[in-house]
Structures are given as C-alpha cells and as structure tokens.
Structure 1
C-alpha cells in the first residue's frame, strides 16, 4: 500500500491467496481484502488504520487478522508491515502469511489428543464419534461426515453419528443390510475395501438409493471400512459433498486419520461391552457359588451341632479354622479325629468286653471248684488284655495330645529375644543320635548374630515337626543322605528366611498340594497321625506371623519359612 492507502503492487502469491488477478487486486485498497469485522468484533478499517499509522512511524508491525477470499470464505493470516524508505512517498510493504494449514494442523493435533482422552476415560461412544466427525469436517470445506456401525450379526448397519447430515437422511440408512451394491458404506463394509463414488447420480452402486440422497443435495460419497484389532469389520466412515468430486491427497489423509480414531473408539466400546457381559456372567457364577457355599455351610453347622457334645475339645480349633475361611478343612479334621480315635477305643472296648465275659466264667467256676489250669489261662489272658488296653489307651492319649497342638495359643507361649544360631544348635542336639542311627548328616548354616524377638517354643515345635517328617518320609528306600538348615536375614532386617532341605525322595506333585491338610499322610497305619505339617502351618501363619512354602523334586524337598524378626503381638492377627 502507498499514498492514500492504495495498493500499488502485488505478487502472484497474493493472487493465489485472495483468489483474484493482480489487476483486480490493484483496483482497491487494503480494506476490500478484509471482512467488515474481525473475529473479536473489532472493525477491520479501524484495525488497518491503527496498524498502518504505527508502521509509518517507523515501527515493524506484526499482527494476526482474518482476511477475505474472493469467494467469501475467511482466511486466517499473519500480516507483517514495514515502512519503505522512498523520499517523498509514504509506502508500506505488507507481507501476508496464510495460517490456514498451520491452524488446521494444530486443530487436528489438539483434536486427536482430546478424542484419545475421551476414549481413555470411557466417554460414551456417540458423543465421541460426533466429536471426531466435527474435527474432520473442520479440516475441509464443504464436507459432511458420517459413521455407520455394523451389527453383531455382520449384516445390518446402524446410523451411529452424522452431526452435520440431515437427521432424516441418517434415519433412512438405519437397519439397511450391507451388500455388493448398497451405496458407498454398505458396499465398503461388504467388500472390506474403500469405495469412492464421485457422482452419486451416475454411479451404479447408488442406483437403488439415488432417490434417497437427491432431496438432500448429496452428490459425492467416499467410504472406508473400519476394522478392529482382530481384523473384523466394525463399521464404515464416509465423507459426503454436495458437488461432484474425487478425493485428493489431503482428503485421503483425513480419511486415514478418521478411520484409525474411529476404530480405536469403537473397539474400546466393544471391549467394554464384552467386559460387561463377562461381569454379568461372573456375577451369576458368584451368586450360584455363594448359594452352594451357604448350603454347604448350613450342612456343616448341622453336623457340628450333632458332634458338639462328643467333640467339645475341638471348639478352639474350629474357631481358628472358621476365622481363616477353612471350613472345608474342618470337615476333614472332624472325620479324621473320629476315625483315628475309633480304632484304639474300639480295640479297648473289644478287649474289655471279652475280659468281662471271661471274668464271669471264672466267677461261676470258682464256686464249683477252680482248677489251676483255668486260673493260669485266665491270668495269661488278663495280662495280654492289659497290654492291649495300655497300648490303645496310650495311642488315644497321643492322638489327643496331637489334637491339642492343632490350635497353638500365642498368649500361653513365652516370647523373648534369642540368637537363632544358638537356638537351632541346642534344638538339634537331642536329634543327633537319631540322625546317626539313620545314617544321615545334618548341616547348619546360620549367621552369627542373627537375632529374633519371637516365640522360641512354637518355633522349636515347627522345626521338630519338619525334621521328624523328614526322618519318617524323605529317605524311604535310600541309605544315607543329608539334611541342611540355613537361615538369612533380609536386607532391611525385618524378616528371617529359614530353610530346611533334604536329599530324599521328594514329595509327589499330587500330594504337595495337600501336605498341610489335617490327617493327610502317606503312612496310614504306621504310627503317623497326619497332623505334623498341619500344626507347623498353623504355628507359622498364626503365632509366628509368617509364611511357609514347600518345593520338591526327586532330588529332595525344601521347606522355606519367611518369618518376621519381631513376631506380631498377641491379638494382632
């Protein structure tokens, strides 16, 4: 612009920017290139006058404003004004930069981020798709976008989103079956490939549907199928125009972006729907399982009431098991006790009955005259009966003692500080003779100074049970072997890792999952009650506040105890 605000020169880029030849540009001043008002409501002539006045004062002025194309659409521009030093003239050089592509790219980046955030937060599908289509429509003039969803039957399509298309037109597409000649969208989903229709009124794919599109002035439709991660067709994305045209590189890029984003949103929706179905099914399974457990609990409680009078001494164990959600183990415990006690008591009852009958016979013979041989026979039989009774009563007493060990009471256990190395050495000393007799060696690897504030009595009972279990089971069929006890403290000093390992025959995999069950034993009838490891597990997890784990192979078995260096206080569990 020069004197009197007239344009005196313009290059070919200005012609392209404003859509008019140079001659037409030079007929007027700067004002015809601007709308009457800017986006902020300010009058364009006032803005130009202010900026040119500042430029003529020697300043370099840079500002953003909305310009006007010949066809009437707005152009976002950055304008740089600089005064030209020409004696006697007031000339200003204006450089106009089209910001449209930059603004569109920024809008696309921010729009994509907003859409992905909506998807991540689980926003409803239809608003998300509408937001996507509005974003794409903002990138190209004259475009109207839509998204169709394919039904789970893989045949019928549904109108999901088309914010700028007439609702009446979208309703006409609802429930239409896809096929090889069903417009652009139905054909694209059927063929699983893009379909470009540049002229709806002439393309055979639209022959049955031209009358649907004609009232709405739709002339071009490009559609691309939307695929899920598994390759299944989820729906289609379409771009409509009211004039005949084919896609250029920019349009193809928009189609790619829209299809990818739509696939992410629709895939997330279907995934959430599948999860909801699984949740509903899981709730049904949980309800069924809860009902079954409730019925089993009621049956168990009924059985417990019937056994309460005879098994009152098990109430502490039952309470512990109930508190630890081990009602199933309680049933096995009760059955095992009944079975184990039945044998010695039954034997004693048979012997007592037999001797009572024999005594009555002797008393009857006594009045008629008792022979020496009959008395000797009776005394011999009485001696055998006494021995049998003593053995069975001792067996019953041992079983009762074992039963009492099942529920270990922390309150009655003495707590103190002790050095683990010294404690284990003293504990192992009485077992040395039994180990030598079995041809076994014992190795101890416990660091000096490793201390615990815990319950040595219950801990010793655990170690003794583990070693007795090892002696009874690990070396069957083998001559010799070794047992090792190792201990290590954690880096923070909060825990102690204690391991008892042997080189024995190992525990079968099927048995390994049941070793802590009460009365589970592979030596039934040979003196074992099957309570040793059950008692050890209760002590470790209860009194000592730790965890016990077992691993085994044909080369041996290892029991690992993870114990807190300072045991929990009574009542802390």
Structure 2
C-alpha cells in the first residue's frame, strides 16, 4: 500500500513543471525530487524502482531521446538514493522537531541534486541522439528547483509517514482546518485581486504569519504543510498566468518565484523546529518536575516510574519503554506498559552478561547498549528470532546506576523499525535513568527508614540548637510516653531533661571532640514520670564549620540500671552476709559452751536459786541462738529443712498469733484465691517471714489501720524473673502483706532490705526484720518485692515456687528435752578446734557414760583414729577446722573402716551434709 501511494505521489508531482505557453519558461520547484527522497528514506533502497518508473513515464511523455531518458532515470534514482542515504547517515529524525534536523535537510537539498545533474550531463555529452537536442546549460536553475522540491515536500511527507496526524485529537484537527482555510483564502484573495506589479509581490509575504501561527499551534507538521501549500499554490498560480509574478519579465520570473518560495519554505521549517525544541525542552522539564514531585511527596516509586516511562514514550515518538530491575545477576521486569505481555514474560529473569541483548549487556557493562537494527546487531544474535513475532526492530538500553555506580537496573526503548538514537535522545534516556535511580533509592531509603521507625526499639533523633527536633522516630515517642513522633517533636529537647544543664554540657563535649559520645540522662516522660536513657550522639558540621545538627540514638536503660542496682544490693548483702555468717559461727560456738555449762549447772545443782539462774541463762542463750539464726537466714547460710507445706494452711494457723502480735487497734484480714497452694519450704522459716512482715506493718500503724494478707497462684515468665539467677520461670504462689500505714519514701525503700538498717528509735529494732525475710525467701528459691510510698502504705510480695504435688506437711520442730537419757556405752572421737565447745561436748559425753578421745584438728584426730579405728563407735567432728577439715578427716577414716558413723557439727551450714563420705553420716547445727 505504501509503495502504491509512493508511485501515485511521484506521478502527481510530475505535472507541476514548465508547460509551453504557461507563465514560466522552466520548472521552478521539482517536486518529484522531494517525493522520491522521502519515499526511499521511508521504504528503503529497494523502492528505487518506483522512482525509475515514474521518471520513465514523465520523460517518455515529454519525448526525450533515449539516452536522455536513460540518463534522466539514472539521475533521478541516484538523487533519491543519495538523499535517503544522507538522511540516515546524518541521523535525521523524520519529525523535524529539532533545528539540527532542518539544517541537515538543507545539506541534503544542496548535495542530492548534484547526482542527478551529473548523470544528466553525462547522458547529454554522449554521442548519438543527444547531439540533436540542444545542450541544457541552466544547471543552476536545475539545482535550485530540485533543492526547493526537497525542502517543499520531504519534511511534510516524512512527518505524515510517522502517523503524527493520526495522533491529533478533534480539537487540533479543527484548529488545523481553520489555519489552512485562512491560508487558502488569503492566497486566493491576493492572487486574484492584487494589482499586478512588483509591489504586489511583497504582499504575498503575508502568508508567513499564517505559517508561523501554524508552527506555533501545530508544530513542525503545521509549519511544513502550510509552507508547502503556500509555495505550491503560488507556483501553480504563476504557471497558470495568475498573480503578481506575471508582471515580471518572463526571463526573471522563475528566479523571483524560487527566491520567494525559498523564503516561504525555510522560515516556517526553522520556526517550527525552534518551537518544537522549546516545547520539547518544556515537556522534558515538566516531566522531570512531575516525577520529582511524585518522589518528593512520598508517592510509591512505581507511580513515579510509570510517569517517567509515559513521558519518555511521548518525547521519543514511536518508542515503547520498559524498566527492568537487577536482582542478583538477573533482570526483573518492573514496568513495560506498551510492550506485549508475552515479551515481558520472555525477558523476565534475563541473565546479564555480554551479548545478552541490549538490556543484559548494558547492565553487565554499566554503559549504554544501542541496537539500531536488531537483525544485524551481535548482542541480539541469541534473541533475534524471539523479537520477530513482536515486531521489535531496534532497542536502546541505558543502565540505571546509584550514586556509587552500582547498577540497579536498565531503561530500555524499543522501536518497530530500525532506528539509531541521536545524542540528545541518549542524553534524555540518561536523565531518565538518573530520575529512576532517585525514585528507587528514595523508596529504598524510605522503606529502610520506615522499617527502622517501626521495628527498631532504640529511639532515633536529629536536633539543632535553634529548631529543636528535626526528626524523631516512633520508638523515641513511645519511650517518652507520646502517641506520635510529631507530638514529641513539638517539645523542646531541653524540656525532656530533668537536668538540662547536663544536656548542655554533653552538647559542648561532642562539639569539642567532634566524635561520638555517650552518657546516661534522666528524661521526663509526658506523664511526669522519669526514665533513664543512654544517649549516644554525634555532631554534623557544615562546610563553614558550624554545627547545624546533632544526630543520635536513645536506649531505655531504666531496667538495666534497676538490675545493676539490684546486683549492687545483692553484692552488698552478700558481703555483709558473709560477715554476719562468720559472726554467727563464732557466736554459735560460744553459745554452745554456754548452753552446755548452763544445762550441766541446771541438772547438777540442788539449789533452786542456782537452777533458776541456769534456766534463765538457757532462755537467754535460746534468744541469742534465734538472733544467730536470723543472721544466718539473712546471709543465706541457715540450714533449712524444706518440706511440702500448704501455704494457705500455714498462714491461717498463724492468724491467732498475728492478732495478738499486732494488737486490737489493727484490723487483720486473711484471704486466699484458692486452697491447697503448696510450696517446698521450711515451715518455721516461712512463719518467721510472715511474723516479721506483720510486725513491720504493726509498727507502721501506730494509730491503727488495716493489715491484709492474701495468697494467690500465678505464673512468672522469664521477664519477671530477669535479674534473679536463682529463680526459674514457672508457677508461683504469691504471699502478699499490705498495710495502709505511714509508708516509706524512695530512699528508705531502696535500703529496706539492708541488714541492721532501721527507721525505729534506738533500742526498738534490730534492723534484721526485712533482711531476714530477704535471706529466707532467697534461700527458698523465691523473690521479694517491696512497693511503698509515703502516706500510701506498704505492700510486700513474696513469690515462692509452687510445688506440683501436695504432701502432708511436717510439724514444727520442738526443742529437745534437756532431761538425761539413759546412759550409753562406746568409744567416741570428738574433733573440735574451739576448746570451750570441745570441752562441753566431751564432758556431756563422758557424763552420759561414753569413752571419749579428743583432738583439736583433723590431723591430730586422724592419728588417733587410725590407731583405734576398729574400736570407734562414732566420730563427732567440726566441719571447718585448720590443718584438715571434717570432710577430709571422715573420708580418710572411711578408707580404713567404711561403716564408721560420722556426726558433723557446723555453725556455718554453707553446704549440705556431705554425701561423698558415704553412710552413715549426719549433721548437727550449732549450738
């Protein structure tokens, strides 16, 4: 169809030539030259036969001699082929929307006619029939008419062949019709009514404003079309004997028309190209602005990239654009709105590398890869067959790189016909790739920031001296009790600090050091509470050395500081506990001697006064022993006898005692969430815990009040047991003792478990009440928590591990009778480094009828025992002694006699009864 149209246009163009008896002696515009170049440029060199056929028809019609006909045909074909080759070689865009393309058209118009002139001259110079034809000497006129024909119709046909007219909407078509109607009316008026004369020729230049208007409103197509219509109309009128040029002498007439036609043709073409370039630049800037606006307003990268692809397809006519992202070594299709889906699926997952099409090659090399003709491009050799069903003939690909040069993907532009890019088009694609990089990196940065904002627990911020917060993430807002980061950013950073002067010192420090610094600060939350925060910050410096910003991270260390404080407290109590344990051990040795002698005095004296005094000594010793037990409980060195106890029953059975202890002015209530909550504990020690807590509550209620004791089962998770290495998460029973008394301030609460710390008057408290509770509970595998405030009372919560299976609880131990038992027999080895203890033990044993061997240390005892090991009935030994302890002594004696009974004595009870020495073995606590 296109070839038939080409032939028809050539034949029609032949009729506008000089006609005998017309107003011109020779042709002014040779339109076939322009039609021929446009057709061969569009259809390729293979369409040259159409040019030859049309040239043959016109020359036979004129009646030229055969040689002239042949040379004329060859000249016409040479001119068309040369012009089309130059158009491709010079990379002229058929839209003629750039001034450079118009300038290159002028080059073609100047050069191409020379080929037809040369061949025609050769034909006329050959001997034969040509000698009977007058030799044509008007070569300059020939060159001008062919050049004007090229300028007249080649741009118009090239633009129309691109299908631009089909893209016009109805409004633009109506506007074009109005412009051409105005042009034709003006031409008709001027050619029919103007006074014939040289002055009237100037009036014809009135068509130039119409052509300029067409260039402005309709672009290069409007400019080329109006110029061509005006030129052809004036040429045709002059041929017909109309118009102002008829007034000129016939010999000057053709030259005058050519000069006028050149002005009418070139002005609109140049103006149309300039306006198109300006519009194109405006469209490029507007497209970039739209893409950047989408990026800046936080729209998704896909929306910005879709706008970018649409803009490129509009700016590069006939293009179909795709954007692919690089994942590893493979390209993944992101956007390709104009390409067939099947093609997109085919290239999705393309491995990058050399000769992997334009896209794979560009991504591999990091440089643009241009295939002007896929059929002949080596990079497309493997994929050439795949492109044919889709009609893809050319592909330009530009890599998308980040700021460091890393390839993120590729921009690809496909065409349905072979086409090479201009330098401007490549620059446009590179700008598009840069915009794509901005969109992709911005979204990646935004996604990263959003992920950090949502998932990172550390607070992040940027502040300045003058503006306060520039940025704060949600984690920082949550940390400080604000619902959103925006609410937090409305607060001055100084107002968040309990000690703002420390913040100013910190700023000065990081400004002076220029590096990263960190410190802990007490921050004020929105509700007025405080939180300890570790702030790690750095300063950013402007080129002038000023300090515009402070960037940093904030970590809530309140819990860590609490754990550190608890660790310090535990270490402090451990140290004091060791001291208390040592004192208790020595004191127990003294008490043992006191008890022994007092019992001997009570049993051996007949004087009632003496016996009563001895009994009072024993009672005082028992109270002193209770004090040592409290010290040992505090230091967690007390010997416990844990058995399964129903905690609810233990508390209930203490009810009567507690009511007598606290007095009638205090209301006591005991409640249990459920019955049968069992724990493994020493009943006496747990009773001591409840009693101590009740006494503390009584002292906090001098004017009366209420004391509530309740028990409840619950689960403690790992977070609740954090910082308590001796406790494992699981089921617990909570014993809670609450009073509505005077309470205590924070400083007192922090020291409440310290040994010997008391707020009572001198002589009214030992300071061991709560510390004893702490030691017993800790040794029982539990946790103690204290909550109190001035005027709001005190709550002490004891958490004990819940036992899985209830068993009958053991009764409370009773003091052994001091009455003499029946006399015994046998040999006993007594080993004790404390002389008073050794003396009372040996005295009691001898009075009971036993034979006794004495030793002051393990080595001495080993020497005695090895000599008489077969006779020994029992070894009584202290655990901790110089020069060989009781454990080592028992082990060595057992080597000589495996069944030797051993009874250990200890005032420490740091370790359970040793089992490594074998049975029979037992342990007795001092005193």
For the aligned pair, the TM-score class normalised by the smaller chain equals 0.3 to 0.5
Give TM-score, length-normalised by structure 1. 0.43
Greater C-alpha Rg: 2
TM-score (norm 2): 0.29
